[in-house]
Amino acid sequence: MANGLNISFPPKKQSLADIVRYAEQNNVVAVAIDAQLTSSINDENGFRSSDLQLRGLLPPKFKVWVASQNSMMAVPIRGRQLAEALSPCVGTIIETHPRSCLHFANPDIPEVVQNYKKDDGEIYRRTLWERWIKLFNINGDISEISDGALDSIVCATVAYLFHQEPSRLLKLQYSEHNKTGRGPFYVLYPEFN
């Protein structure tokens, strides 16, 4: 990242069809999606071994950030729809967990990461944004930092790191043999900085 990454345009809410259309019309080589992209019928409680591994890396009070697929069915369904639709035009599709990545990048300010998704969390989001762009040498700014905008920048950074600096990422292991879906699960390496 010698020259840094650039934000071409600020994050905004898009339909899944708009995201796919953009990828088809542009040279998108990698995406990281904030949703469970794999599953197995053997995961009856909704937690994959990779989810349990991530929960084990987080402080006890933050384990709830990693929800079971059973409790958030719309998220994995839409994530898998997006991954499936992107697969013909995007070479790399991975899963990530932005909040955990933000925590691993900022272990000294856990209360900020804990509160950035709240309605009144603008100051927390701004703090995390400023630290993230400095840490990863990202050029550009966005006027209003929603939790979704911050999460999307984290996802884009993880997709970039997958190809450019994979040693900064931790691959979470999903040991189930009859799993289905797309993409391995990566987060920022907890002790990378």
DSSP letters for 3-24: S-EE-SS------HHHHHHHHH
pLDDT score of 2: 52
- Maximum pairwise Cα distance, the chain: 46
What is the pLDDT, as a whole number, of residue 148?
94
Report the domain count for the chain.
1
Q: Does residue 24 belong to any structural domain of this protein?
A: yes
What pLDDT is attached to residue 142?
80
Q: Does residue 35 form part of some domain?
A: yes
Amino acid identity for residue 66 in this structure = V
Q: Is the pLDDT of residue 187 over 90?
A: yes
The verdict on residue 121 lying in a domain is no
For the entire predicted model, the pTM comes to 0.94
* Residue 62 covered by a domain: yes
Provide the residue range defining the domain that includes 60.
16-108+159-188
142 found inside a domain: no
Q: Looking at the predicted structure, is the pLDDT value of residue 96 above 70?
A: yes
Split at pLDDT 50, 70, 90, the class of 192 is: low
Rounded to the nearest integer, the mean pLDDT of the chain is 93
Is residue 70 pLDDT above 90, yes or no?
Answer: no
Please name the residues in contact with 21: beta carbons below 8 A apart, sequence gap of 6 or more: none
- pLDDT at residue 95, rounded to an integer: 98
pLDDT surpassing 60 at residue 79: yes
Q: How far is CA 193 from the centre of its chain?
A: 18
Across the range 128-133, mean pLDDT stands at 96
Q: What tokens appear for 145 in the block?
A: 């930092």
Nearest CA to 176 out of 40, 47, 38 is that of 40
Angstrom distance (rounded) from CA 159 to CA 183: 11
Give the span between the Cα atoms of 158 and 146, in whole angstroms: 19
pLDDT tens digit sequence for 132-153: 999 999 998 787 899 999 999 9
What is the DSSP annotation of 29-95? Answer: -EEEESS--EE-TT-TTS--HHHHHHHHHS-GGGGGGS--TTT-THHHHHHHHHHHHHTTT-SEEEE
Tell whether 7 is covered by a domain. no
Res. 33: pLDDT tops 70: yes
Classify residue 77: in a domain, yes or no. yes
pLDDT average, residue stretch 121-136: 95
Residue 134 lies in a domain: no
Q: What is the pLDDT of residues 157-181, one digit of tens each?
A: 999 999 999 999 999 999 888 899 9
Residue 10 has a pLDDT of: 79
Q: What was the pLDDT predicted at 72? A: 78
